[in-house]
Amino acid sequence: MFEQFAGLRKEAELFFRTLQDEITTTLEIVDGAGKFRQDLWERPGGGGGRTRIMAEGRVFDKAGVNWSAVHGDSPQNPDLKFFATGISLVLHPRSPKIPTIHANFRFLQNSSGDAWFGGGIDLTPYYLDEDDAHEFHLKLKVACDRHDIGYYPRFKKWCDEYFYIKHRGETRGIGGIFFDQLGGNERELDKIFLFVQEMGQTFLPAYVPIVEKHRGDSYSEEEERWQLLRHGRYVEFNLVYDKGTVFGLETNGRTESILMSLPTLARWEYDMQPKAGSPEAKLLDVLRNPREWATIT
């Protein structure tokens, strides 16, 4: 492996691995019934990972929390070697009143001297709770602001742009933060790593209160149907636009680990339009016109 940033590489790998433990332990407590099943896997070209999946829990219908650290010849450029480590998670709750959440943090390095971090956290509600949206974004903003006052506005916008389903004219959810290829020299990388660690630690406090608030909410079959239709959009985004998914599938990544992000069930109905003024239409309006949620009013 490359000599440069050897310490950072080890620290990032360990941080993401420990974060996976912390998150899966807490999520089992939150769920109260489901347990994570672990699959250890090795990558033929070098490295491997731990895929952890909870299926049919009490709160979570499907939850995947993956960690990996892989290296070898770059799939994009055979003249380069690469190293990549990260954590990626998607939680799909049973209840349409609890949002789906996705988070991902990663460190990449290649033999041409490039090294960078990428990642983000974003929320995908089926029914909009404005207080939740506000709290969620505010927590991300506060964590960002401690590192760089410019991060939140830049990464919030990046998130809205990244999770955009062009052929629907909608974002996937109400966003959060997204950043990619944040790199530089050793000092800059150390600063970014501190930020990434803080964002990793912000995941549970930003999401778990939303779960606790809505876990007792009742819901109807019609609301479940809407959840499945929105799951269809989630599938559309991930299979058509998500760079990690498309790149992973193209470069012979571990298919089952990559596609753990898909919900158990997704629905498509021809030309489905929610009634004007309905809670479903209210969500769509926010997906078509992303809002600023972290403003203090």
Does the protein bind a second copy through residue 255 (CB under 8 A)? yes
Name the token pair of 142. 């506060």
Catalytic annotation, residues: 102
What CA–CA distances, in Å, run from 36 to 13, 22, 62? 21, 12, 10
Single out the residue of 44, 166, 296, 297 in contact with a second copy (rule: CB under 8 A). Answer: 166
Query: If binding is defined by CB under 8 A, does position 53 make contact with a second copy?
Result: yes
Question: CA torsion 101→131→196→202, rounded to 10°?
Answer: -90
Least Å distance, CB 266 to a second copy, is 5
Which residue in the set 208, 266, 279, 282 belongs to the binding site for a second copy (CB under 8 A)? 266
Q: Which of 108, 144, 177, 262 binds a second copy (CB under 8 A)?
A: 262
Please say which residue, 209 or 232, places its beta carbon nearer to a second copy. Answer: 232
Q: Cβ of 108: how many Cβ atoms within 10 Å?
A: 18
The yes or no reply on residue 224 touching a second copy (CB under 8 A) is: no
CA distances in angstroms from 71 to 75, 88, 241, listed in the order given: 10, 17, 25
Q: Which residues, in sequence order, are CB contacts of 211 under 8 Å at separation 6+? A: 30, 59, 93, 98
Q: Taking the C-alpha atoms of 68, 74, 80 and 81 in order, what is their torsion angle to the nearest 10 degrees?
A: 30
Please select the residue that binds a second copy; options are 145, 148, 217, 269, rule is CB under 8 A: 269
CA dist 48 and 123 (Å) reads 28
Which position among 48, 232, 244, 274 is part of the footprint of a second copy (CB under 8 A)? 232
Q: How many residues bind a second copy (CB under 8 A)?
A: 32
Whether residue 123 contacts residue 171, with contact meaning beta carbons closer than 8 Å, is answered with no
Q: Applying CB under 8 A, does 274 fall inside the site for a second copy?
A: no
Nearer to a second copy among residue 186 and residue 222 (C-beta): 222
**Which positions from 113 through 152 interact with a second copy, judged by CB under 8 A?**
none
- Half-sphere exposure at residue 83, Cβ-oriented, CA atoms within 13 angstroms: 19
* Residue 270 in contact with a second copy, rule: CB under 8 A: yes
Site residues for a second copy per CB under 8 A: 39, 53, 55, 62, 64, 166-168, 228, 232, 235-236, 239-240, 246, 249, 252, 255-256, 258-260, 262-271
